[in-house]
Amino acid sequence: MATIVVDVMLKPEILDPQGKAVASALPRLGFTFATDVRQGKRFEITVDGEPTAAQLAEVEVAAEKLLSNPVIENFTVRVEK
């Protein structure tokens, strides 16, 4: 069993009001390290055995078609050990 992870983030030029709200909450709790926060989504997809190249290619297609909206989001696909 392996896990394929798809991370989806808003494109840098798209305003992220949720990330901004988190960024402004941090200093209220005394955390002053952040200059910016962006919030995204993470999908953990379980497959049997080691993912094949064909499976990973399919995940790329699914990520483009369903998991992300390419108009406003970028995604990355990786296998987690």
Partner 1 sequence: MKIGVVTFPGTLDDRDAARAVRYAGGEAVALWHDDAELKGVDAVILPGGFSYGDYLRCGAISRFSPVMEPLIAAAMGGMPLLGICNGFQVLAEAHLIPGALTRNQHLHFLCTDQKIRIENNNTAWTNSYTKDQEIVIPLKNGEGSYQCDDETLKMLEGEGRIIARYVGENPNGSRNLIAGISNERGNIVGLMPHPEHAIDALTGPGVDGLGFFTSVLKAMVK
Query: Could you tell me the smallest distance in angstroms from the CB atom of residue 60 to partner 1?
Result: 17
How many residues bind partner 1 (CB under 8 A)? The answer is 12
Torsions phi, psi for 9 (to 5 deg):
-125, 145
- Residue 26 touches partner 1, criterion: CB under 8 A: no
* Contact set for partner 1, span 56-75 (CB under 8 A): 66-67, 69, 71-72
Instruction: Closer to partner 1 by CB, 52 or 69: give it.
Output: 69
Going by DSSP bridges, is the β-strand pair 40-47/73-80 parallel, antiparallel, or unpaired?
unpaired
Which residues contact partner 1 by CB under 8 A?
10, 13-15, 17-18, 21, 66-67, 69, 71-72
